[in-house]
A = this chain, B = another copy of it.
Amino acid sequence: MNRMFIANLLVVAFIVPAAAQDDLSGRYVVSIVWGDGTLYDVLQLEQKGDNLSGTYRGNPLEGTRHGEVIDLTSHNKQGDGDTMHLIAKGHVLTGTDTPFDGSGHIKQPPVLAVTAVLAASPPSAGQTREFVPTQFYHAFSATTKPAMTIMPGDTVHTTTVDAGGTDANGIQRAFGGNPETGPFFVQGAMPGDTLAVHVIRLRLNRDWAISDDYLDGRSVDPSLAVTQKDTGKTIFWHLDLDGGMASAEKPDTHLRDYRVPLRPMLGCVATAAAAAFPPPNSGDSGSFGGNMDFNEIRADATVYLPIRAPGALLYVGDGHAAMGDGELNGNGLETSMDVTFRVELIPRRRTPSPRVENADRIMALGYEGSVDDSLKIATSNMANWLTSDYKLNPSEVAQILGTASQIRITEVADRNAGVAIIIDFDRLKGLAAGQ
């Protein structure tokens, strides 16, 4: 089965209910637990007398209420429908959902247990929120319970452990493999929107990092492979936070005076990949961002990511004190961090693949299984960006790309390779004037 199967198959329509007492109207967060996963979605209900209407997953909904007993029916555009039977207890609705499959082949659809909880009145936006993680995750999953709900415009201060799971105090807090902080549920975020993550500050919060001394297979030809001896060791680096430089703790002879300027970056920034199975793990990347390991995701950069699941479900992790392009040795200077970011929501804007922007330039990223394929994605991402923001026609896009592109390979040590097409704002000034 292929990677696109899920989008086609998950016609599973999950539908949901309403709360007791007076009025069930409101926005509910719905969860459906089944097998090894949980799906989250949003239900909007309007009650008029005993009649209920609203939407669920973009589909119109209608139903009735008799005391605590609620019946709802929803149909998608193909006319497939399902019926739900729920019981309202305060602002919590529980019961079953029986989706219908229009193919005629699903003889007996699953009867799924659902829970819908009235969303709390959102706090006013623009607040600064503190999040202290206690649990860390190893997949960019849409089926993980949100760790905190935030509003567009909110600023969040939190911390990340290093790729091996160790925190600022040298305490290992989770199994290794890019344990992630989050996920943050962004109020109002829906598939088809874009999430903007403004990185405000990445503060190094300890004085050491770890890295490696081998070369990733993607960067080694046979002539180099045969020379690789005594490599594969873990290298500990001292971070001189005041001096702004890193140096190996026990360097070999020739690296005695070798220094690396500190340039803290976030290796992982991700929205949940899609409200479906199976989710990519925390070593992976793709159109949802993820383990991008791009050394331009630093303070003052904004990362734009497509939203694929209700609430976006933002994950952050895998801080590096510094990293060369490509992470050729398999790891940056891996360390823990204090992370401060602000999120904004751009409704109804489709972002095909991750984008990063800072004061000087725009950067369109592509992450695929080979550098060649990543380049195709990155170029197409940038062409799409120029088309939508500057209204260029294809001929104009080609002329800009041909004369203004900087092309960098961001990452080759992970599951996917990454490529960035970069254009300075200086080059684009004339375009804005020409609109």
Contact = CB atoms under 8 A, between A and B. Distances in A.
A331 B106 contact: no
Interface stretch (A19-27, A53-61, A66-74, A218-226): A218-226
A380 interface: yes
Given A211-B402, A399-B255, A431-B254, A5 B164 contact: yes
A254 B383 contact: no
B277 A176 contact: yes
A219 B375 contact: yes
Given A108-B169, A408-B409, 8 more contacts: A5-B164, A106-B172, A177-B276, A215-B383, A220-B222, A220-B380, A227-B383, A329-B402
Interface string A203-220: 000001011111111111
Interface string A338-378: 00000000000000100000000000000011111101110
Q: Could you say which interface size class chain A belongs to?
A: 35 or more
Nearest to A173: B110
A82 to B, nearest CB: 12
A259 B398 contact: no
**A-B complex: 4 closest residue pairs judged by Cβ atoms:** A369-B369, A329-B402, A107-B170, A278-B281
A375 B412 contact: yes
A392 interface: yes
Interface stretch (A42-50, A134-142, A186-194): A134-142
How many protomers of this protein does the assembly include?
4
Interface in A226-245: 226-231, 233-236
A178 interface: yes
Nearest to A260: B403
Given A138-B277, A215-B379, A235 B328 contact: no
Contacts of A434: 253-258
Interface string A79-123: 000000000000000000000010101111110000000000000
Given A280-B281, A407-B408, A324 B177 contact: no
Contact of A254 (B1, B324, B371, B391): B391
Contacts of A248: 399
24 contacts: A2-B327, A5-B283, A8-B234, A12-B172, A35-B179, A36-B139, A109-B171, A110-B171, A177-B276, A215-B383, A218-B373, A219-B376, A225-B225, A230-B393, A254-B392, A254-B434, A254-B435, A256-B433, A260-B404, A281-B281, A323-B402, A325-B407, A326-B407, A371-B375
Interface stretch (A124-132, A299-307, A413-421): A413-421
Contact of A414 (B2, B213, B255, B260): B2
A269 interface: no
A330 interface: yes
A45 to B, nearest CB: 25
Contact of A252 (B5, B136, B219, B396): B396
B35 A135 contact: yes
Contacts of A390: 254
A177 B36 CA distance: 12
Contacts of A208: 105
Contacts of A222: 217, 220, 222, 225, 228
B277 A431 contact: no
Contacts of A431: 254-255, 257-258
Contacts of A9: 163-165, 176-177
A143 to B, nearest CB: 9
A215 to B, nearest CB: 5
A220 B215 CA distance: 17
A333 B417 CA distance: 30
A236 B105 contact: yes
A80 to B, nearest CB: 12
Nearest to A103: B236
